[in-house]
Amino acid sequence: MAILDFVVSLLVDISFSWMRMLIALLASILLGLAIGIFAARNERAEKIVMPIIDILQTLPILAFFPFVIYIIVGSLPGYVGINIAVIFLIITSMVWNIIFGAFEAVKTLPLEVSEVSKMYRMNGLGRLRKIWIPASMPKVVEQAMLSWSIGLFYLVTSEIFSTANSTYTVKYGIGVALTNLALSGNYFEYAVGIGIFILFVVLTRALLFAPLETFFSPYNDQKQRKHRFSNFMHRLKTPKFPKIHWHIKMIDLGHHNHSSRGANAASIAGAAKPTTKAGLMDKRVYALLAVAAALLLLLLLYRIGIISNQDLGYEYDVLVALAASFARIWLAFAVILVVSVPASVYLIFMTKHRNAYVTLFQVLASIPATILLPLIALELRNAPYHNELVAFVIFVLSGLWYVIFGTMSNRNAIQSSMLEAKKVFGVKGIKAWRYIYLQAIVPGLITGAVTCIAAEWNASIVAEHFTSTALGNGNVITSVGIGMGTYLDAQLTAGNYWLMALALINLTVMIILINRFLWKRAYNSVAKVYK
Amino acid sequence: MDIMQVEDVSYSFGALKIMEDISFSSQMDQFVSLIGPSGCGKSTLLRIMAGLIKPDTGKVLYRGKEVVEPIKEISFVFQDFGLLPWLTNLENVKIGLSASDMDDDKKTEVAKKLLAKFKLDGFENSYPNMLSGGMKQRIGVARAIASEPRVLLMDEPFSSVDELTAETLRSDIIHMLKSNDISVNTVVMVTHNVEEAVELSDKIVILSNKPSHVKEIKTVELKHPRSRRDPEFMDLVDHVYGVLTE
C-alpha cells in the first residue's frame, strides 16, 4: 500500500510540474507566433526585435530567478506568486526559439504566397488565419519540442531553488519531491521517481508532440497520418537540440522583398545586395543596448550609495563573484570539450549504431542535471573541496549534452563526399583527425558551445549554493565560498534588490561582450569558409 | 476597346534599369503574350500590371482607370501555382473569393462548381501536394477566375507542368476564353516558349533585354484551333525567333 501511496503522491507532484510546463508552453506559443510573425512582416520591427531576442536567448535567464522571485512574490505573496514566478521563468526559456521558428517560417515563404494574399485582397485576419499562422505552425511545433526540453531544466531548477526563506519555494512539484527523497536518503524511491520522470518525458513526446507534428505537417497527406508511430520513433532518433539562431543568418534569408525578382538580374550584373545596411543597423542596436546597460549600471551605482568607495566595494564584490563563477564554468567547459569532441566525432564518423546511441543520449539528456544535485551533493559530502566539486560536476552534466547535440545537429552539413575523399586518398590517423574530423564539426561545435555555457550559468544558481529549505530545515547542503550563485542567493535572502540587479547587469554585460567578441566572430569566420 | 493599357512603364532595381518605356494594350477578347529572353523583366511587368509592384514611371490602366493596387477585375495565375499547402484544394479555390461579400456557404458552392468544371471533383478535401502539377495549375486557374475577373494575368502558367499536360491546359483555357464560358475578357500571358505564344495569342509583344523595351508587337490572325505543322504557323514562329535573337 505504501508503494501505491508513494506513486500516487509522485503523480500528483509531476502533474503540478507538467501543469506549469503546459501553461508556459501555451503562453510561449502564443507569444512566439505574435512576435515572430510581426517581426517577419514588418521590417522596422525586425531590426529592433530580432537583435534583442538574439541577446535574450543567449542570456542565462535562470540567474535572474532570484530577482524575479523577489519582484513577483513581493507583490503577489504565497503560492500564486511563486508559481507565477516559476511559469514566467519557464516561458523565458521556451519562447525565444519559438519566436525564431515562426519568424523563419514566415520569412522563408515563397514570394508568391504573399502575392496571392494581395492579389485576392485578403484582409488582415484572413492572412493571419489562412497564411501566416498555418505557415508557422510546423516550425513552431518543431521548436516547441526543443523548448520543452530546455523548459524541463528550468522547471526542475526553479523548483529546487531555495534560500533560507521558505516562502520562496514551491510546495508541490517533481523537483521538490525528488529533492526530498534524495535528501532523506530514500535512494530507491528517488530512482523510481527519476524513472517516472523519464517516462513522462517520453509520453509527452509521443502523446502531445508527435500528434501535433503530424497534424501541422506542411504536407498533409493521409499516408503520414497512418504511420504516426513509426514517425514518432523516427523523430525520437533525430537529434533535436537548441541551436543558436544568429540574427546574421536571418538577414541572409531576409531579402525576398518585392524587388527580389529584380535581385536575380542584379546579382548577375554584380550589383551589391542591400544586406550591408541591415548589418549596420544590427550593430547600431547592439551599441545602443550596450550604452543603455552601461548607463543603467552607473545609475544603479549612484542609487546604492552616495560614497563612491562603497559603490566600488559593491562592484568589486560582484566582479569577484563573477570571476569565480566564470573560472568554474569555463573550466567545466574545457572538461566538456575533452569528453564531447571525441564522442561527437565517434558518433558522426565512426559508429554504425549512431541511432541507438542518439536515442539513449536523448533519454539521458532529458534528465535535467539539477535533479541529480541533491544526490551528488550527498554522495560527495566527504570529498575534499566538496562544494567546488559538486558545482563542477553539475556544470559538466548541465552543459555536456548541448555540445554533443549541437555538433550532431550540424551533421547534415558534412557531405558524404568528404568521407569518400578520405578513403580514396587514404587519410588516416592523426591526419584524419586534424584535417577532417575536427574541422568538419567546428560550426556545430560553436553553436553547441554557446548553449552549453548558457546552460552552465543557468545551473549556477543552484549548483553554487543549495539549501534544504524544501525539506523544512534550512540547512545549507552545498555552497561555494564565492560565486554568482552564492551571491544572488545571499542578496535574495537579505532582500537586497539593488545588489541583485547590479550583479545581473554585470553578468549580462559580460555575456554580451563574450558573444559579440568571441562567439559571433568565430561563427562568422567559420561560416564564410564552410558555406 | 482597350481593356488593359500599359503606358511608358519603366522600372529599375537599384541602379539597374530593368525595363524602359514599355507600352502596349490588350483589347476585348484578345489573348496577349509577352515574350522575351530570360531575366528581361517579363514577370515584373506582369506584376506591375497586377498592381503588385509600382512602376518608377508610366502607368497601367484598366478600362481607362489607373491600377495602383490589386483590384477585383484583374486576377493572376502564378508560375509555381502559388497554392497554400496547408489548405485543402477547396479552401485554396475559396481564397480567390476572399474579398467577396458572399457568405461562406455560397463561397463553398462556387468553389465546388469550379473544381467540377476543371474535372477536379472528388479532390475537394485533399491537399495540393497530393496532386500532379497539371492538377495544381488547374486549381490555380480555378482560384483565379472564382471572383469573375475581367482580366487574367498568367505568369508562365505552363512552364511548371509537363508538355502533355500543358497542351491540354492550353486548349482548355483558349476554349473557355473564346466560347465566353468565363467572365474573362482578356488574357495577358508571360512565356518564353515561342510556339506556345504563337499557338495561343492574338498579339505577341516581343521584348528585348537589359533594359527591356518593346521590339515588336506582332498580330496573329490564324484561326483556332491552330496546328503547329501549318506552314503559316511555322513562318510566324520563325519570325518571332528572328526578332528575339537579332
Q: CA of A256, closest CA in chain B: separation in Å?
A: 13
Contacts of B47 in chain A (CB under 8 A): 115, 261
Residues 6+ away with beta carbon under 8 Å from B50: A119, B67, B70, B74, B76, B153
Domain edges within chain B = 1-73+152-227, 85-148
Q: CA of B9, closest CA in chain A: separation in Å?
A: 15
Report pLDDT for A163: 62
Contacts of B72 in chain A (CB under 8 A): 121
Residues 58-77 of chain A with CB under 8 A from chain B are none
Q: CA of B70, closest CA in chain A: separation in Å?
A: 5
Q: CA of B135, closest CA in chain A: separation in Å?
A: 16
The amino acid at residue A22 is L
Higher pLDDT, B236 or A362: B236
Instruction: Please name every residue paired with B2 in a beta bridge, in sequence order, or none if there are none.
Output: B27
* Residue B130 in contact with partner chain A when CB distance is under 8 A: yes
Report pLDDT for A132: 92
Q: CA of B221, closest CA in chain A: separation in Å?
A: 32
* Residue B84 in contact with partner chain A when CB distance is under 8 A: yes
User: Hey, are the CB atoms on B80 and A115 less than 8 Å from each other?
Assistant: no
Contacts of A262 in chain B (CB under 8 A): 11-14, 16, 18, 41, 44
Q: What is the dihedral of CA A202, A208, A209, A214, to 10 degrees?
A: 130
* Residue A313 in contact with partner chain B when CB distance is under 8 A: no
pTM of the model: 0.76
Mean pLDDT of chain B: 87
User: Hey, are the CB atoms on A119 and B84 less than 8 Å from each other?
Assistant: no
Residue of B nearest to A117 (CA): B95
Give pLDDT tens digits for B95-134. Answer: 888 888 888 898 889 889 889 888 888 888 888 888 888 8
Nearest to A119 among B13, B70, B80 (CB): B70
Residue of A nearest to B126 (CA): A221
User: Hey, are the CB atoms on B16 and A262 less than 8 Å from each other?
Assistant: yes
DSSP labels, A73-104:
HHHS-HHHHHHHHHHHHHHHHHHHHHHHHHHH
Number of domains in chain A: 1
Contacts of B13 in chain A (CB under 8 A): 259, 262-263, 265-266, 271
Note whether residue A333 is domain-resident. yes
Which class for A273: exposed (0-12), middle (13-18), buried (19 or more C-beta within 10 A)?
A: middle
The amino acid at residue A71 is I
Residues 129-158 of chain A with CB under 8 A from chain B are 130-131, 134-135, 137
Contacts of A258 in chain B (CB under 8 A): 52-53
Residue of A nearest to B87 (CA): A130
Note whether residue A254 is domain-resident. no
- Counting as low any pLDDT under 70, the low residues of chain A are 1, 162-168, 218-283, 301-311, 412-423, 426-428, 468-474, 529-531
Question: CATH number of B1-73+152-227: 3.40.50.300, 3.30.420.40, 3.90.1300.10, 3.40.50.620?
Answer: 3.40.50.300
Q: How many CB atoms lie within 10 A of CB A2?
A: 6
- Angle at which helices B133-145 and B163-178 pack, to 10 degrees? 20
Residue of A nearest to B43 (CA): A261
How far apart, in whole angstroms, are the C-alpha atoms of residue B234 and residue B238?
6
Note whether residue A471 is domain-resident. yes
> What 3-state class would DSSP assign to B60?
strand
Give pLDDT tens digits for B177-206. Answer: 877 777 888 899 999 889 889 988 989 999
DSSP 8-class letter at B212? B
How far apart, in whole angstroms, are the C-alpha atoms of residue B139 and residue B124?
10
Instruction: Give the best residue of B9, B10, B11, B16 to mutate against chain A (max A CB count within 10 A).
Output: B16
Instruction: Please name every residue paired with B35 in a beta bridge, in sequence order, or none if there are none.
Output: B191, B206
Cell numbers for A78: 504565497
Give pLDDT tens digits for A164-205. Answer: 566 667 778 888 888 888 888 888 888 889 899 989 988 998
Note whether residue A315 is domain-resident. yes
* Residue A266 in contact with partner chain B when CB distance is under 8 A: yes
How far apart, in whole angstroms, are the C-alpha atoms of residue A278 and residue A443?
23
Report pLDDT for A28: 95
Q: Say if CB B204 and CB B11 are below 8 A apart.
A: no
Note whether residue A262 is domain-resident. no
Q: CA of B239, closest CA in chain A: separation in Å?
A: 27
Note whether residue A255 is domain-resident. no
Q: CA of B49, closest CA in chain A: separation in Å?
A: 11
The beta strand positions in A377-426, using DSSP E, are: none
User: Hey, are the CB atoms on A220 and B127 less than 8 Å from each other?
Assistant: yes
Nearest to A116 among B43, B79, B82 (CB): B82
Coarse DSSP helix, strand, coil percentages of chain A, rounded to the nearest 5 percent: 80, 0, 15
Structural domain that includes position A24 = 2-248+275-530
Residue among A116, A142, A140, A111 at smallest CA distance from A127: A116
Residue among A392, A391, A418 at smallest CA distance from A477: A391
Interface size A-B, in CB pairs within 8 Å, comes to 102
Q: Say if CB B11 and CB B44 are below 8 A apart.
A: yes
Q: CA of B103, closest CA in chain A: separation in Å?
A: 14
